[in-house]
Amino acid sequence: MRVLVIGANGQIGSRLVHRLHDAGHNPVAMVRKEEQVERFNEYEIETVLADLEEDFSHAYQDIDAVVFTAGSGADTPKSQTKVIDRDGAMKAINESEKAGVDRFIMVSALKANRDLETWSEPMQHYYDAKAKADEHLRNSNLNYTVLMPGRLTNEEGTGKVELKERIDSKSITRDDVASVIVGLLDEEQSYGKSLELLQGETPIEQVIANLT
C-alpha cells in the first residue's frame, strides 16, 4: 500500500515510515524542507516536499492511504496550533477525498473527544484544535480511524498496549504508536472508530485482532 505520511519528520512520523517500509508498504514521507529529504533517501524511502500552509495536493499522486501525524509542538504559539493541528488536518482530509484516497488514520490526542471541562486551561487550544479536526474526519466519506494516544515517551516500545474507546490516562511510547498504526492500516474493524491508545499488557497483534 502506498501511504502518505504527513508529519514524517516528527518523532512518530519518522518511526512510522521505517516500520511501514519494513512491513512491505510503500511510505511517502511528506516533509517541508529540502534538508530533511536526505535522512529518508538514505533508507530508500520516497519523499515529497510539501507544506500544510500551502497547496500540497501534489503529494497525493497515486496514494492509497494517509496517516496524519503532524503537530505544531509544545512551544508553538496558539495561532500556529490552529494552522497545523486544526486547519492543516482539515485540508489533508479534504485533499484525501478529492484524490480518491480511501483510508485515513488521524493521530490525535487522548481526551480530544471529551468534554471541555476535562482539558487543562493551558492546553485547551490544543485539544480544541485536535477535536475540531477529528470531527471533520468523522464527518468525511473516508474509511477513518482516529487514534488518540496518551502522554508520549521516547522509551523503547514494549509491543503491548491498550486500545479502546475509553481508557484511564497514562503514557505510551512513540515506538508502540507507530507499530499500532501499521497494524491498523489494513484492519477494517478499525474503520469508523475513535480509539484511545495507552501502554498495556496485551500484544499489539492481539489487541488489533480483538477489535469489534
Q: Is the dihedral of CA 185, 188, 194, 198 positive or negative?
A: negative
C-beta separation of 132 from 154 below 8 A: no
pLDDT band at 121 (very low <50, low <70, confident <90, very high): low
What pLDDT sits at residue 74?
58
Q: Given the C-alpha cell 494552522, which residue does it identify? A: 83
pTM: 0.94
pLDDT band at 195 (very low <50, low <70, confident <90, very high): very high
Residue among 60, 126, 127, 144 flagged as catalytic: 126
- From the number of C-beta atoms within 10 Å of its C-beta (0-12, 13-18, 19+), residue 165 rates as exposed
Q: Respond yes or no: is residue 126 known to be catalytic.
A: yes
How confident is the prediction for the chain on average, in pLDDT?
92
What pLDDT sits at residue 152?
93
Question: 75-109: buried (b, 16+ CB within 10 Å) or exposed (e) per residue?
Answer: eeeeeebbbbbbbbbbbbbebbeeeebebbbbbbb
pLDDT band at 75 (very low <50, low <70, confident <90, very high): low
C-beta separation of 77 from 118 below 8 A: no
- Give the pLDDT confidence of 138-170 residue by residue, as tens digits: 999 999 999 999 899 999 999 999 998 877 768
pLDDT band at 83 (very low <50, low <70, confident <90, very high): very high
Q: Which domains can be identified in the chain, with CATH numbers?
A: 2-209 (3.40.50.720)
Q: C-alpha grid cell for residue 37? A: 529529504
